Amino acid sequence: MAHRSTATHSVATTIALALAVAFGALTGGAGAATETRFAARADDPRTLVIASVTDLDFMRPLIAAFQRQHPDIAVTYVEDTSNNLDAAVTTACNGGRFIADLVISSSIAQQVRLVNNGCASPVQSAIVETLPDWARWRGELFGLTYEPAVMVYNKQAFAGQEPPKSRFDLIDMMRQTGRLDGRIATYDIEQSGVGYLFAFQDAAEASTWGRLMEGFGRNNVRTFCCSGDVIDLVASGEALIGYNVLGSYALARALKDPRIGVVLPSDYTLVLARAGFVPKPARDPLAARAFLELLLSADGRAILNGDTRLLTSLSGPSALAAINEGEDTAFRPIPLSPALLVSLDRAKRSRFLSQWRKSVIPPNP
């Protein structure tokens, strides 16, 4: 379902646009891309097409800031699920067809694969040099945010007691009490690219992963496609704990919703940098570069550090340490490197998922 604003430049269209976006967000189901157009304040404008899995609400302030700088550039924002986006970009790349000027996805393994397959063109800009090494690859793929994998908990349920602070706490809690039975939620790693990535990194990072899967299986873990669903469930009290939720969503939600609390696991906290690249067949790579430069500029960083809590690789560690109330946390950013390709290996993936299924989904009686 596509919503295209044939906008001229007036306040009325802007309002209409907002309505259209709201409608799109409501009705945009799985398998359908949502397209939103932000008109430029100029006749015959250039158009920057951004394809992304990020919720538009997170991107809106950035797009607004971008258009303040570049009023002559219209922005078309295409939102889709990570797998759909990856498939669409792969097809377009193989066929040498245009799909977007900028592709931003939290499914960074897939992003690395696209770049590895030669789908990206390098971005020549001094500002990308400010990124740490782990957050950039080949001068083509850039980690733009700093989003931890967190645990969310229902504050009311843990009133008067400590929520689990680490995976060990969580494992103990799952083993020792029946309290979490059917009341723990996490990603469906078969459906969600980010969920799979976090799980895969967990497995590589520590031996706790096997025990976690065992606990999930014993406690009838509930799995969802998206972070929002997990958070909703925890907020409502139906689930007490959500594991490996994308921190940006959780933190942004916690600001508004007093029912949920956020824990950065103290044994280690995975950090994901949403990655963007400019595809080779981009129509306006200069506009795409300008958008990347805005994201990495002081203005862009300020927006990312704001309400969206997407954070940046520079501000992330200190901002998160503050949230964690002084608890010592080991941040493990997932480097943008071809090592991520291993997680996408067909054989590897099917084995990993079958292991997951065996542990987590109890055989139906």
Partner 1 sequence: MKPPLSDPEMAAAATGIVPSIAGRLTLMLTLVLTIAATGTIIAAYAYGRTAATRAFDRLLTGAALQISERISVVEGETVVDIPLSAFGLLSLASEDRIFYRVLDPVGATLTGDEAFPLPDEVRAGDAQMLYDAEFSGEPVRAILMRRFLAERSVRGPVTVIVAQTLRARGELAREIVARAVIGVVIAGFLTLVLAVLALRLALSPLDKIERAILARDPKDLTPLSTDTPREVAALVAAINRFMARLDRRVGAMQNFVADAAHQMRTPITALRAQTELAMEEEDPRRLRVLQRRIRDRAMGVSRLTDQLLSHALITHRADSATLERIDLRRVAMEAEREARRTGGASRIDLDLPSDPVFVTGDAFSLREAARNLINNAVAHGVPPIMLRVSADLEAGTASVTVHDHGPGMDADRIARIGQRFVRTATDPRSAGLGLAIVAEVAQFHQGSITTGSDSGGRFTISILLPLDADQSDGSDADDQPREETVVVFPTQPSQQGTGN
Interface positions with partner 1 (CB under 8 A): 115-118, 133, 137-139, 204, 337-339, 341-342, 345-348, 351
Indicate the residue among 43 and 133 with the shorter CB distance to partner 1: 133
Torsion angle defined by CA atoms of residues 254, 257, 258 and 260, in that order, rounded to the nearest 10 degrees: -60
Distance CA 284, CA 100 (A): 9
Question: Minimum Å distance from CB 149 to partner 1?
Answer: 18
DSSP classification of residue 362: P
Nearest to 255 by CA among 204, 319, 170: 319
Question: Minimum Å distance from CB 182 to partner 1?
Answer: 33
Indicate the residue among 312 and 343 with the shorter CB distance to partner 1: 343
Question: Minimum Å distance from CB 134 to partner 1?
Answer: 10
Question: Minimum Å distance from CB 139 to partner 1?
Answer: 8
Contact (Cβ atoms closer than 8 angstroms) between residue 210 and residue 164: no
Indicate the residue among 175 and 348 with the shorter CB distance to partner 1: 348
Contact (Cβ atoms closer than 8 angstroms) between residue 62 and residue 303: yes
Q: CA dist 5 to 66, 101, 252, Å?
A: 18, 19, 28
Indicate the residue among 81 and 343 with the shorter CB distance to partner 1: 343
Question: Minimum Å distance from CB 70 to partner 1?
Answer: 30
Distance CA 159, CA 150 (A): 19
Question: Minimum Å distance from CB 341 to partner 1?
Answer: 6
Amino acid at 354: S
Question: Minimum Å distance from CB 115 to partner 1?
Answer: 8
Indicate the residue among 77 and 277 with the shorter CB distance to partner 1: 277
Indicate the residue among 215 and 335 with the shorter CB distance to partner 1: 335
Burial grade of 247 (CB within 10 A; 0-12, 13-18, 19 or more)? buried
- The 10 Å CB-count burial string (b at 16+, else e) for 49-65 is bbbbbbbbebbbbbbeb
Which residues pair with residue 262 across a beta bridge? 152
Question: Minimum Å distance from CB 142 to partner 1?
Answer: 14
Pairing of strands 102-105, 46-52: parallel
Residue 231: how many other CB atoms lie within 10 Å: 26
Nearest to 166 by CA among 174, 156, 154: 174
Indicate the residue among 119 and 144 with the shorter CB distance to partner 1: 119
Indicate the residue among 103 and 115 with the shorter CB distance to partner 1: 115
